[in-house]
Structure 1
Amino acid sequence: MSRPHRSPAAHPLRTPRRPAHRTAHRTVRRSAALLAAGMLLPLGGCSTGDGAAPAAAQDIAVAARQELRSGGTARWAVDAAPQTYNVFQSDSSEATERIAGAVLPALFVLDERGRPRANPDYLRGAEITERTPKQVVVYRLNPKAKWSDGQPIAVEDFRAQWQALNGKDAAYWTARNAGYDKIESVSAGKEPGEVRVVFKQHYADWEALFTPLYPQSVTGSPEAFNTGSRTRLDVVAGPFTMVPDTGDGKTRKKDGDGQAARPQAPAGPVTLVRNAAWWGRPALLDSIVFTAVPREERAAALRAGKVDIAEVDRDLALEVRHALKEQKRAAAAKNAERGAADGKNNDDHPQSGQGRAGAPNQRVDEVQVGVGHMRAAEREAAAGDDKPADTEPGAAKPGGGRRADAKPGDDAESPAARLARAYTIHRALEPAYTQLALNGSDGPLADEQVRRGVARAIDRAVIARSVLAPLGLPEAPLGSHLLMGAQEGYSDHSAALGRQDIEAAQALIADSGWKQGPVGGPGAKDEADRRADDAKAPFVRTPLTTGPPISVSPGLGVQHGTLAEQAKLAKLAYEYGEDSEEYTRARKKARGRIDRLMRESSPLLQAAANPVQRPFVKDGKPLTLRFVVPEDAASGQLRQVAARIVRMLDNVGVRTEVVQTGSAGYFRDFIASGDYDLALYSWPGTAYPATDARPIYAKPVPSADGSLMVAQNYTRVGTDEIDRLMDKAAGELDDRVARDLLSRADARIWAAAGSVPLYQRPELVAVKKDLRNAGAFGFATPRYQDIGYRR
């Protein structure tokens, strides 16, 4: 299902999450909120070509329909209950899109590589029939396709949706009109069931239009579009239909856009059931229930068996990984014991590591997570902090393991082990990427040379490996702003910026008039500083040091400090007794010192507060950048990435002032308003980059009052050449020429150094073990009617 980009400000952050979310058509949009999470072989270096999709493009437990039984309910966790059932409104959400994908027509669906394919449930075909003097597209509808009220899907539905979304009628509360504004007319074709669409100018992304398709009863009037579709969908045309809700919906206050109060979809789970009027292959499930489960409650809901499908965070996935590893080790140990016993019983035929049936033992260093395998021994170093500590034989392992002698169902079995028995964690690279944003509107980063210097201080490979390797996902950094690694035409254009290089980074900054100052800042100089001045050295090269793996747990300094305080207290207790005044005073002071150590143990704040390189200085002021980072519980991974970046910048002499803020105001108060120098947030991948990525990288233009109109370009960095190439790609009907234009645009986006893609986000989805055709879909559009339970 395709859907418009809209202002991210209306969506709550997931870490954060709004320039990206997932739609069936994967114009992934959990918009300015993927902003911060705010997930291929290999990702970098070359085009993926036209062959099979890269290995990590998706991870689904696939099964043929005949292997699955009819019936059952799938409880699907979403971040929040939908506020509207209209995906073209600014406050639509993941739940809105999931529901629309199951109940409304999708004329084109995406495969695992993000390629649009005509959906035979609704189309017999669709093609460009004329290119000159104007582009004409003819849709040939499936004659069986009809709405649940018995009316056929027809040209009237296409025309009403075009008129609602083309931007000419301000009475419609639409989020975006891209594509629909390029249509000149919609009319019936020459043959019955044909729809003829004429474009005013060439439009390459025409396959994104009319998906989802709403009935004329929704798009035919502003009132129905604005309010009626927010609380119910009375007419549908998909394998599922909505259970009627008797609630009148809630009303919310005015939004920041000043529009009138809007009714809101009733809170609570949304239940979809089989559509009796569906003409295609019937849905296997009796029902799908979309249930709001906040991220912080997701693990508990899974452990309690309250949901069947749920996207999970990295920590939970690693817990399950460790649990599976322990189970594998236990199984290998039993096999080894059995083999040794067999060898003793039959000296003529020692088993040599094989079981009774002669099959080789499972390798201890392989761990199955989802449908793939990863070599744990190769991942251990990269995993760093997630490595389970050694424990005594038979003790429960941290991170999710269980006692080696525990049996399934044993009370000693850990929650993670029980979770691993009930669910499979499917892993893929989500069509969305996390970037380091450099705000070029003012301050030091308004200078392109400084931006390039800062960008070249970042070792993207180290960051990508730290995030992806522990999960067993391909760990190369993403090399494109416009295409994900699985997509046709993907190529790494990061060479336009240059690889990570400390000396080059320092030279770029020095060329902009910044000089390397003394270690302590712009104060008094020591002898080494004077010698450096005499030599007129523009910069000082130091080796890259990223420090030990970053962990959210207390560091060694905290542990040593705590032990020292405990030793002092033990001595006082021995000398004066635990009831003494001396011991009580010392205990109070020790508690305060330990609390201070804990507060200061944040790797991010420590990294910023303890520089090791001489800072760059201009006009007596050190080069300091304001780095805004979310501090909510769901953003732990981002803070680890931020700490690494702080250290990397310190290695070239760039200071950072870290500002940690709650997720509620992260996007609105800092990113959208431009109140930052550096920030981490995510953007979605899309099958239609010429259209969907255009507002993200468009050059800001001054408005009448002197302010900048930035669209979704929150870095405020853009050029006329980037705009020209993106516009040409959007109007190019030759796919190869369009991809070449996008490649050239991407190279220029890299060179402008407004944003630095770091890695494709991991997509981690827990699915009940007997549920099939669901998982980490990647770009692919889910076929809801084929999801079902094994016989």
Structure 2
Amino acid sequence: MSDLYGYSHTRRSRVAAVLAAATLLLAGCAGGGGRLEAPRHGTQDVNPQDPATLRDGGDLRIPLDNLPTNYNYNHVDGHENATQSVLAALMPQVFEDAPDGTQRLNTDVVTSAQLVSTNPQVVHYRINDRAVWSNGRPIDWEDFAAQVRASSAANQAYQVGDKSGYADVAKVDRGETDKDVLVTFAHPYSEWQQLFYLLYPKETNNDPAVFNTGWLLAPRETAGPFKVGVVDRTAKTLTLVRNERWWGAKPKLDRVIFTVTERRARADRLANNEIDTYEIGSDVDLFRRAQGIPGVRIRQAIPKQYPHLTFNGAPGAVLSDLRLRQAIARGVDRKAVAQRLVGQIVPNLVPMGNHIYPVGSKGYRDNTAFPFDQAAANAELDALGWVRPAPGAVRAKDGRPLRLRMVVPAGNPPSDATSKTVLDQLGQIGVQVVIEAVPPNAFFDEFVNRGNFDLTTFQWVSSSASFSNSLNVYQSPKGNDTGQNFSRIWDPRIDELYRQGFAELDDNKRIEIGNEIDKLIWQEVHNIPLYPQTGAFAVREKLANFGAKGLGDWDYIRAGWMN
């Protein structure tokens, strides 16, 4: 789940891991000490070139924090950003994320996808006649049907990352041919385009054992422009090669090689011609190092992710008091956090203002509530009975000090800098923050997922189906099933608005509903979005059609090397 900020969770509607005035997020490209200049939002910075002018062949070497823990993206352990980056070259995507934050049909996989009825809602997919799996079997309607059965979680033996949308399907039928799919919904599901984002073969989805564990060590049947060449778990390297069964445009690259590489080593490896790009994110050192590497450019476009400060509001937790959360929120200077973390990369960065919609997307509005105001924070804490016995002392109530455990992954500079900044800021209003750095491999499973924290920080990674993406994070827990609502904070009004939004097929009306939800999330102080992630990448200047992907997906078919 690690990503450029440190640790991230995909929030791709069908999960969860993981966006302020867009015009002030500076971007562009720089090298050799240059600055990031022009605003870039709703676009990509990938050195666009006509693929016909690029060299035929070559390798693209990409660093990873870790090899995927499960190559089944629809499994709870596989639903993370790093896994998606790998699988985008291997698995069919019915709709892709476009650079402007919308979704576009991938006609290599499905030549058409049409809403043919609204009552009931029915979508007709026409699968490309040439589309085949790597074992030679044609992709057909049964693959769609099997994915719905598995990902709907109707059978609890399937350990599903997110059932959103799939659980709303009533049935999947064969159309006139095996290449025609009719998906009928039990009730309207507005963001239906996000279904089948990564389609898996029926051989996987028909068997819970294969779904859960069959993709642990390596991918099985794939259907993308590339296929698996070698998975070397000792060297921690995954090599993809051209798929000879691929029916679309021929990729320009011979191979895509993913290698597990420590973040602090990435600049050296890029300078030594061992990798071709790395994600800078919030790492000022990686940014500075990239500026000094000959033949390397810094490319940037605002992505679908943002770091945040999450509050634990579970019953019995100190932050279960809404008014206390609101008071503490006023003590957090998000602009100062952004300046400390990424000010040298993107000066004058404005804090993130929305929990649901990314900066640069059609739905983004700045709905910020409880802006930084130390005087108001102190007054509210006084009114709540959290008394400060002397200037500089920790507040207390009924003999209990106002002490908060902030859990972060050990050895992660951005998380470390964020936690220390929050410690300093909240200390100024009499709130003691105790930082607890925990083993990275235990951060989510043993702490975040279990609500074993008062405060924590990581980042959300979303998709263009932003409304659906956010459901699992803000829905009401059902017994022990909290989804990705790690804060255990909810409001029944939010559940009702989600119900309305999922039934609203008009995009503009659904966006307004989404922003009403966001306003409630701000009032509940579920989490505080900090700033849009920088989206900065260090990239070899001769690498074309690849780099800062912004709100879209990488295109492994068009990526290649200039002559």
TM-score, normalization by structure 1: 0.64
- Say whether residues 1:180 and 2:166 are aligned partners: yes
Deviation readout 1:309-333 (Å, 9 max, x if unpaired): 3224613333236xx5xxxxxxxxx
Please name the residue that 2:245 is paired with. Answer: 277
Partner of 2:86: 99
Aligned pair partner of 2:130 in 133, 136, 144: 144
1:319 alignment partner in structure 2? 288
Q: Aligned runs of 1:399-478 on 2, under 5 Å? A: 417=292, 420-441=293-314, 442-472=316-346, 475-478=349-352
1:219 CA drift (Å):
2.5
- Structure 1 equivalent of residue 402 of structure 2: 623
Per-residue deviation at 1:79?
1.6
Task: Give the letter aligned to residue 355 of structure 2.
Answer: H
Alignment check: 8 A CA contact 1:13 1:663 kept: no
- Picking from 185, 189, 199, the partner of 2:175 is 189
Which moved further from structure 2: 123-132 or 661-670? 661-670
Residues 266, 650 of structure 1: CA spacing in aligned structure 2 closer, same or farther, 3 A cutoff? closer
Q: SS in structure 1 opposite 2:463? A: coil
Contact 1:627–1:677 (CA under 8 A) maintained in structure 2:
yes
Equivalent position of 1:667 in the other structure = 444
Residue 654 (structure 1) aligns with: 431
Question: Structure 1 stretch 682-691 or stretch 484-493: which is displaced more?
Answer: 682-691
Q: CA separation in 1, counterparts of 2:71 and 2:170?
A: 28
Asked if structure 2 preserves the Cα contact closer than 8 Å seen for 1:161 and 1:214, the reply is: yes
Distance 2:15 2:170 in 1: 28
Give yes or no for the alignment of 1:41 onto 2:13: no
Q: Once structures 1 and 2 are overlaid, which stretch shifts more, 79-88 or 741-750? A: 79-88
Specify the code of the residue in structure 2 equivalent to 1:721: R
CA distance in 2, matches of 1:781, 1:306: 24
CA distance, structure 2, for counterparts of residue 138 and residue 266 of structure 1: 45
- Alpha-carbon shift at residue 144 of structure 1 (Å): 2.9
* Paired amino acid for 2:442: G
Aligned residues: 546
CA distance in 1, matches of 2:427, 2:57: 59
8 A contact 1:13–1:664 mirrored in 2: no
Q: Secondary structure at the match of 1:102?
A: coil
Which residue type is aligned with residue 114 of structure 1?
G
Q: What residue identity is the alignment partner of 1:292?
A: V
Q: Which residue of 2 is the match for residue 289 of structure 1?
A: 257
Q: What corresponds to 1:724 in structure 2?
A: 496
- Cα offset, 1:236, TM superposition: 2.9
Structure 1 Cα separation of the partners of residues 552 and 448 of structure 2: 30
Q: Could you tell me how far apart the structure 1 residues matched to 2:215 and 2:400 are?
A: 56
Q: Which of the numbers 20, 44, 47 marks the counterpart of 1:61?
A: 47
Deviations 1:341-378 (A, max 9, x none): xxxxxxxxxxxxxxxxxxxxxxxxxxxxxxxxxxxxxx
Shift in Å, 1:731: 2.2
Q: 1:507 aligns with which of 379, 401, 409?
A: 379
Name the CA distance, whole Å, in 2 between partners of 1:462 and 1:741: 31
Gaps of 5+ in 1: 1-10, 35-39, 45-51, 248-264, 325-416, 520-612
Please state whether the residue corresponding to 1:455 is helix, strand or coil: helix
Spell out, residue by residue over 1:246-278, the C-alpha distance to the aligned partner (whole angstroms, 9 max, x if none): x9xxxxxxxxxxxxxxxxx78642222222222
- Give the CA deviation at 1:30: 8.9
- Structure 1 equivalent of residue 35 of structure 2: none
Matches of 2:223 and 2:442 in 1, distance apart? 39
CA distance 1:498–1:66, shift in 2 (3 Å): same
Q: Aligned pair 1:784/2:556, yes or no?
A: yes
Assess if the C-alpha contact under 8 Å between 1:629 and 1:638 holds in 2.
yes
Q: Which has the higher contact order (CA 8 A, sep 6+)?
A: 2
Asked if 1:492 corresponds to 2:366, the answer is yes
Find the aligned partners of 1:622 and 1:227 in 2 and give their Cα distance.
46
Aligned pairs (5 A) from 1:624-643: 624-632=403-411, 635-643=412-420
Q: Does 1:715 align with 2:494?
A: no
More helix by share: 1
Instruction: Give the whole-Å Cα distance in 2 for the aligned partners of 1:642 and 1:221.
Output: 43
Alignment of 1:53-132 (within 5 A): 54-55=40-41, 58-92=44-78, 94=81, 96-132=83-119
- Alignment correspondent of 2:31: none
Deviation at 1:43, TM superposition (A): 6.9
Partner of 2:422: 645
Partners of 1:467 and 1:29 in 2: how far apart? 28
Q: Which residue of 2 aligns with 1:327?
A: none
SS in 1 for 2:531: strand
Other-structure match for 1:162:
148
Alpha carbons of structure 1 residues 188 and 56: separation in structure 2 relative to 1, 3 Å: closer
Q: Residues 95 and 225 of structure 1: is their aligned pair in 2 closer, same or farther, counting only changes over 3 Å?
A: same
- Say which SS state the counterpart of residue 23 (structure 2) adopts: coil
Structure 1 residues 547-696: aligned runs within 5 Å: 613=392, 615-632=394-411, 635-696=412-473
Partner of residue 213, structure 1: 199
Match of 2:30 in 1: none
Match for residue 135 of structure 1 among 115, 118, 121: 121
**Equivalent of residue 749 in structure 1, options 492, 514, 521:** 521
The alpha carbon displacement at 1:456 in A equals 0.8
Tell me the distance in 2 between the aligned counterparts of 1:316 and 1:295: 10
Aligned-partner Cα distance in 2 for 1:749–1:691: 15
| Matches for 1:299-310 after TM superposition, within 5 Å | 299-310=267-278
> Quick one: distance in 2 between partners of 1:234 and 1:620?
59
Any idea what the Cα deviations from partners look like across 1:713-768, whole Å, max 9, x if unmatched? Answer: 12221111112112221222111111111101100000011211111222332222
Match of 1:59, SS? coil
How many Å apart are 1:110 and its aligned residue? Answer: 0.8
Offset of 1:231 from its aligned partner?
4.1
Any idea what SS the aligned residue of 2:447 has? helix
Q: Which amino acid aligns with 1:478?
A: M
Q: Which residue of 2 aligns with 1:8?
A: none
Is structure 2 residue 185 aligned with structure 1 residue 199? Answer: yes
State the 1:16 CA deviation: 4.7
In structure 1, C-alpha distance between the alignment counterparts of 2:450 and 2:134, rounded to whole Å: 45
Q: 1:100 to 1:679 in 2, by over 3 A?
A: closer
**C-alpha distance in 2 between matches for 1:780 and 1:315:** 24
Bigger shift: residues 734-743 or 456-465: 456-465
CA deviations 1:7-30 (Å, max 9, x no partner) are: xxxx56876524238xxxx77989
Aligned to 1:19: 9
The amino acid across from 2:105 in the alignment is A
Please give the secondary structure, in 2, of the residue aligned with 1:465.
helix
**Cα distance change of structure 1 residues 319 and 16 upon mapping to structure 2, 3 Å threshold:** closer
What's the CA shift for 1:786? 0.5
Say which SS state the counterpart of residue 326 (structure 2) adopts: helix
SS in 1 for 2:433: strand
DSSP-derived class of the 1:508 partner: helix
Distance 1:625 1:173 in 2: 33
Amino acid in structure 2 at the alignment position of 1:58: Q
Q: What is the distance in 2 between the residues matched to 1:70 and 1:42?
A: 39
Report percent identity of matched pairs.
29
SS of alignment partner, residue 343 of structure 2: helix
CA distance in 1, matches of 2:538, 2:421: 29
User: Residue 29 of structure 1 contacts residue 683 of structure 1 at CA under 8 Å; is this kept in 2?
Assistant: no
Secondary structure of residue in 2 paired with 1:782: coil
Residues 94 and 446 of structure 1, relative CA distance in 2, 3 Å threshold: closer
Q: C-alpha offsets along residues 670-720 of structure 1, whole Å, 9 cap, x if unaligned?
A: 33332322222222233223332112112334x3xxxx5432212221111
